[in-house]
Amino acid sequence: MPELSNPQYEEFALRFIACHNTSRAATQAGFSAQYGNNLLRDPAVKERIAELLTEKFTALHMTADEVLGQLARIARADVRDLYEESGKLKSARDLDENVVAAIAGMDSIELGESGTLKKVKLTPRLEALKVLAQYHKLVGAETQISVYANLADRMEEADTRQKSVASSPDDLIG
């Protein structure tokens, strides 16, 4: 359906889509707040609003393939691709699509004469891999995939194992 022939009705429809408030949309379109209810009963206005909502939701919708593709890009992102051979952070324009998909945020902090500190936060790769593994039924939804949060956890576990071996040397001798 093309735009409504009455420009004020069209403005009301556009404003209603933006705020979902009949009174506000009516006043912003130049009508009284009460007249908005009358406009919503007009068949042409109702049809136009339905069409605009469909366009809005279609534009916002991601297909399952798009979601899986984005997850795959995050899972394939390699932190080494953030840097040039010299070790300098690449310009955002020079990053490949996998790295761009994985970037959760970027920040620059001016350090005065020392230069600029640039920080890049990446989306956790493991989360994308978990979802993809579950999608491809490599693991069940009930399966727990755990990864050590940091080196301290690994070292504590190794220390515990070492202590248990050291406390029973007789077990090691035949």
Residue 117 pLDDT > 60: yes
pLDDT per residue over 70-96, tens digit each? 999 999 999 999 999 999 999 888 999
* Res. 174 pLDDT band, cuts 50 70 90: very low
pLDDT number for residue 152? 62
Task: Give me the domains of the chain, ranges plus CATH numbers.
Answer: 7-60 (1.10.10), 66-164 (no CATH)
* pLDDT at position 48 over 90: yes
The string over 78-105, giving b where at least 16 C-beta atoms fall within 10 Å of a residue's C-beta and e elsewhere, is eeeebeeeeeebeeeeebeeebebbbee
pTM over 0.75: no
pLDDT tens-digit map of 160-170: 766 665 554 45
